[in-house]
Amino acid sequence: MAPSRRFTALALAAAALLTGCQSTPYSSLPSPTLPGQQPLPPVVDTPPPARRAIELLPANMADRSGWAQDIDTAFAHLDVPPSASNLCAAMAVIEQESSWRADPVVPGLPRIVRKEIDTRAARYAIPPLLVSAALQTTSPDGRSYEKRIAALRTEKQTNTLFNDMLSELPLGKTLLSGFNPIRTGGAMQVSIAFAEQHLARRRYPYPRTGSVRDEVFTRRGGLYFGIANLLDYPADYPHPRYRFADFNAGQYSSRNAAFQAAVALLSGRQLALDGDLLRYAGGRPSEAPSNTETALHTQATTLHLSHRQIRSDLLKEKDAGLADSRLYQRVFALADKRSTRGVPRQRIPEILLKSPKIQRKLTTRWFAQRVESRYNTCMARAR
């Protein structure tokens, strides 16, 4: 056979062989497990183990089991995970605010209350002699109002006194209409306004026999609303100290203070890092722009946002939605570029605490540090 014909025959034979190979399908099988080798389980984030309050409470305290039951009940109804960290956070605030007293003693209450009454009387031009005569009136518990004021020791007693004065005294409705100086109460000194707002959106787990204000002054109510204020909101903080600051300054204040610092960096303006992004009047956002909002207006072009869009996002300052807003994302993106290490997303608000009950210079940072120290002691018990 000629070489060219031999080559052609070989080529045809090879083609036929390849065709035959392609006609038989190949089924891919997984590689066999090597001897001694086990497949890796999927990675799952394991939540911290649940704990019971009784395990972490201080050893020497009155009615330990009663406190534990009320704390556990609050966690269960609020659906807050009862981890050691969460329980210790709540216990640290309780210890700081009341030293484990459901109705804590407040030094100087008679002086504070009488000053408030005299201030109100002056505002309405009520003569001091008329006020003194009214306070000599016998109150529902058999004592004069003046004697009850002199004997005041707790906020619950003060709240009851003002309710009686409002309903019984001839001058009560004029002098005290819509006014009660007691704005916090209970073992965690939770804001009564917060308790009322929380109750409007979530069912209260206990039968009520009076007002929301009355419930705050019970141990169970004070703990329920206090734990809600501390833990019943989503916040991606790296440490509980920022929740402690929020408890003192308002939810999301630590996030908002960090946002203010980023705005100050971008605008070159000095801002109060207090966690309040808007001005408020009567508990509602004011139309007048805050310093933070004004600083953002100067960056509107850089942020590619109108003044209306900036305002719309700032109105989310009291909830989790601000962190997902265009304003928040763009401010931090630009601030990160101007900082060599990036800017933090949380910061303790710089607030000087003011209250008739406070007789010395205290700040939100001081409060957060004190609570954190108690938190660390509790976590040591948890180990």
Q: How many domains does the chain have?
A: 3
Task: Looking at the structure, tell me whether residues 78 and 225 fall in a common domain.
Answer: yes
Q: Does 224 fall in a domain?
A: yes
Task: Looking at the structure, tell me whether residues 210 and 283 fall in a common domain.
Answer: no
Cα torsion angle, 147, 100, 206, 86, sign: positive
Q: What is the pLDDT of residues 191-229, one digit of tens each?
A: 999 999 999 999 999 998 888 999 999 999 999 999 999
The predicted model gives 309-333 an average pLDDT of 98
Task: Looking at the structure, tell me whether residues 285 and 316 fall in a common domain.
Answer: yes
Task: Looking at the structure, tell me whether residues 191 and 168 fall in a common domain.
Answer: no
Q: Does 150 fall in a domain?
A: yes
Task: Looking at the structure, tell me whether residues 145 and 159 fall in a common domain.
Answer: yes
The pair of structure tokens assigned to 34 is 């090597």
**What's the CA gap between 313 and 296, in Å, rounded?**
11
Global confidence as pTM: 0.84
Task: Looking at the structure, tell me whether residues 248 and 208 fall in a common domain.
Answer: no
Q: Does 273 fall in a domain?
A: yes
Instruction: List C-alpha distances in Å: 201 to 71, 196, 216, 378.
Output: 21, 9, 17, 32
Task: Looking at the structure, tell me whether residues 96 and 198 fall in a common domain.
Answer: yes
**What's the CA gap between 213 and 234, in Å, rounded?**
26
Cα torsion angle, 324, 46, 89, 208, sign: positive
Query: Is residue 167 classed as helix, strand or coil in its secondary structure?
Result: helix
Would you give the distance in Å from CA 365 to the centre of its chain?
15
In one-letter notation, the amino acid at residue 143 is R
Q: What is the pLDDT of residues 157-204, one digit of tens each?
A: 999 998 899 888 877 777 777 677 788 999 999 999 999 999 999 999
Task: Looking at the structure, tell me whether residues 177 and 196 fall in a common domain.
Answer: no
Task: Looking at the structure, tell me whether residues 141 and 155 fall in a common domain.
Answer: yes
Question: How many Å is the Cα radius of gyration of the chain?
Answer: 32
Surface-to-core class of residue 166, CB atoms within 10 Å of its CB (0-12 exposed, 13-18 middle, 19+ buried): middle
Residue 320 sits in which domain range?
A: 241-338
**What's the CA gap between 86 and 237, in Å, rounded?**
13
Q: What is the pLDDT of residues 271-300, one digit of tens each?
A: 999 999 999 998 899 999 999 999 999 999
